[in-house]
Amino acid sequence: MNQYTQHRHPANAYLVRERDRRRIRELGVVFLCLLALGSGLMVDTWLELQALKTGYRIEELRKELNEQRQKLYERELEEAYLSSPRQIWRRAERDEEMTPVILSRVVILEKP
């Protein structure tokens, strides 16, 4: 039993441990597989982030479009209000001091 617990030196002092080429090849294959998997995960993450960024941009543009539509609607309402005959007449009386036409003061010129 004692022989199993003691460290024995090899009988040949010139033994040289050779590299196991098969093991190095296997480690290389594992490394390449991990590299491919990691690259794939990084590309997938990048694509997801780009999709998220694009989604936020789309929402921002939709919000801006709705704001522009609201402004257009308000301007169309203002244009309709200001272009009504009643409003034009009120502004003419107030700002230009125009008065209604008095038929007795109208002079009709006849053609020569």
- Whole-number Å distance between alpha carbons of 21 and 15: 18
Q: Is the pLDDT of residue 69 over 80?
A: yes
Three-state DSSP string of 44-112: HHHHHHHHHHHHHHHHHHHHHHHHHHHHHHHHHHHHHHHCCHHHHHHHHHHHCCCCCCCHHHCCCCCCC
> In which band, very low, low, confident or very high, does the pLDDT at 10 lie, cut at 50, 70 and 90?
low
For residue 38, what are the domain limits? 16-96
pTM greater than 0.85 (yes/no): no
pLDDT at 4: 61
What mean pLDDT, rounded, does the chain reach? 87
Q: What's the confidence (pLDDT) of residue 3?
A: 56
Asked if 95 contacts 89 with a C-beta cutoff of 8 angstroms, the reply is no
Q: 5 pLDDT band (50/70/90 cuts)?
A: low
Rounded distance between C-alpha atoms, residue 100 and residue 89, angstroms: 9
Give a yes or no: residue 8 inside a domain: no
Q: For the chain, how many structural domains are there in total?
A: 1
Is residue 11 situated within a structural domain? no
- Whether the pLDDT of residue 63 is over 70: the answer is yes
Using the 8-state DSSP alphabet, how is residue 14 labeled?
T
Which candidate, 29, 23, 71, places its Cα nearest to that of 79? Answer: 71
